[in-house]
Amino acid sequence: MGYKSVLLEVSDGVATVTLNRPDKLNAFTTPMAGDLIAILKSAGADPKVRCVLLTGAGRAFSAGQDLSDPAMAFGEDGEGPDIGTVVDGCYNALVRTVRGFDKPVLAAVGGVAAGAGANLALACDIVVAGRSARFIQAFAKIGLLPDAGGTYMLPRLVGRARALGMALLGDAVNGEQAEAWGLIWKCVDDDKLLDEAGALARSLAAGPTLAYAAAKRALDASAANTLDRQLDLERGLQQACGKTADFREGVAAFTEKRPPRYSGS
Ligand code: LHQ
């Protein structure tokens, strides 16, 4: 199936997914969010894909919700749109898909990531940004609160003070500041962004996919777990990893002093 507003290319085990409405800074319409969810679901089920790299065409990652989308129209009586339906159908579904993804999901943020666009990037497992990237919690500027998981992710990533500063002031945080704050993994030179993120994605695609899935699951569960329950969870997941071909290969490669060749099984 072909998608216009979201592009997909698969090579070397990496599904590169590109948000593709550059003239609108890759702002999301409802159909575009649906396309992205469908693409992610098919990448999740495709055994050839062992890592997803999400990025944006042109000078933005995404400016969030397309404010001119028909779903955002006010009624003739002046009544506001049913934003809850858009949040549920587009952003909650997207963030749940990304966070429930078994394989690593990288975001390469070049330029602006605003509103739900910023929070979609921050929901990914590893975020690499160009030096001139701008993370903007644009919501308060239009009378809304951060959505797409922003109120969950921000305080966990950067603490309450910075989360509230970003949410209430809506100021841009650039790539270097984002790295210094721990909002993202790494900031790189703008012209190296896609090369560096691509290399990282290929290396993850050649890694122990099932161990990555287990690490993601355990780290995500930790927020709601006691240490005791977390230790039990780690034990169960580690037990399962101990039975994988990749564990056998990892230990063999170490013993034989050679690079491992993981199959993702
Ligand atoms: C846009 C957009 C955009 C349409 C730039 N829509 N066209 C969930 C559910 C339901 C409701 C509401 O929200 C949500 C979640 C959200 O995401 S709320 C937050 C929505 N996003 C925003 O409020 C950001 C709005 N955009 C901006 O503040 C600026 O465009 C930023 C700071 C992103 C970039 O500024 P500049 O670099 O100066 O670019 P620009 O403003 O000149 O934009 C370029 C073009 O892109 C322009 O179109 P034009 O035809 O004039 O060239 C903009 O209108 C268009 N565009 N964002 N969200």
Q: With 70 as the cut, is the pLDDT of residue 152 above it? A: yes
Q: With 90 as the cut, is the pLDDT of residue 1 above it? A: no
What pLDDT, in 10s, does the model give residues 36-71? 999 999 999 999 999 999 999 999 999 999 999 998
DSSP code per residue over 241-257? HTTSHHHHHHHHHHHTT
Q: How far apart are CA 176 and CA 184, in angstroms?
A: 9
Distance (angstroms) between ligand 1 centre and the Cα of 243 equals 48
The encoded tokens of residue 250 equal: 């990892």
Q: Note the pLDDT of residue 4.
A: 87
Q: With 70 as the cut, is the pLDDT of residue 251 above it? A: yes
Q: How far apart are CA 131 and CA 192, in angstroms?
A: 10
| 3-class SS of residue 146 | coil
Q: With 90 as the cut, is the pLDDT of residue 229 above it? A: yes
Q: With 70 as the cut, is the pLDDT of residue 145 above it? A: yes
86 pocket-lining for ligand 1 (C-beta < 6 Å): yes
Residue 262: phi and psi, rounded to 5, are -80, 140
Q: Note the pLDDT of residue 64.
A: 98
Q: Note the pLDDT of residue 21.
A: 97
DSSP code for 160? H
Q: Note the pLDDT of residue 54.
A: 98
Pocket test for ligand 1, best of 5, 20, 25 (most atoms within 8 A of CB): 25
69 pocket-lining for ligand 1 (C-beta < 6 Å): no
Say how many Å lie between the first and final Cα of the chain, rounded: 28
Which residues neighbour 37 within 8 Å (Cβ) at sequence distance 6 or greater? 93, 94, 97
What pLDDT, in 10s, does the model give residues 76-118? 899 999 999 999 999 999 999 999 999 999 999 999 999 999 9
Closest residue by Cα to residue 126 from 45, 207, 59 = 207
Band (123; pLDDT cuts 50, 70, 90) = very high
Closest residue by Cα to residue 148 from 104, 89, 213 = 89
Distance (angstroms) between ligand 1 centre and the Cα of 136 equals 11
Degrees, nearest 5: CA angle 247-252-256: 155
Instruction: Evaluate whether 82 touches 22 at the Cβ level (below 8 Å).
Output: no
* Mean pLDDT, residues 244-251 taken together: 98
Q: Note the pLDDT of residue 240.
A: 98
Other beta carbons less than 10 A from residue 192's beta carbon: 13
Buried-state track 202-228, b at ≥16 Cβ within 10 A, e below 16: bebbbbbbbbbbbbbebeeeeeeeeee
Q: With 70 as the cut, is the pLDDT of residue 14 above it? A: yes
Distance (angstroms) between ligand 1 centre and the Cα of 66 equals 7
24 pocket-lining for ligand 1 (C-beta < 6 Å): yes
Q: In which residue are the tokens 């355990």 written?
A: 218
Distance (angstroms) between ligand 1 centre and the Cα of 259 equals 46
In 105-225, where do the E strands start and end? 105-109, 112-114, 126-130, 134-136, 172-174, 186-188
The encoded tokens of residue 212 equal: 């990555």
**Average of per-residue pLDDT values in the chain:** 97
The encoded tokens of residue 246 equal: 């990749």
Distance (angstroms) between ligand 1 centre and the Cα of 65 equals 8
Closest residue by Cα to residue 96 from 56, 42, 149 = 149
64 pocket-lining for ligand 1 (C-beta < 6 Å): yes
Band (224; pLDDT cuts 50, 70, 90) = very high
Q: Whose CA is nearest to atom 34 of ligand 1?
A: 112
Which range, of 3-7, 11-15, 156-160, 248-252, averages the lowest pLDDT? 3-7
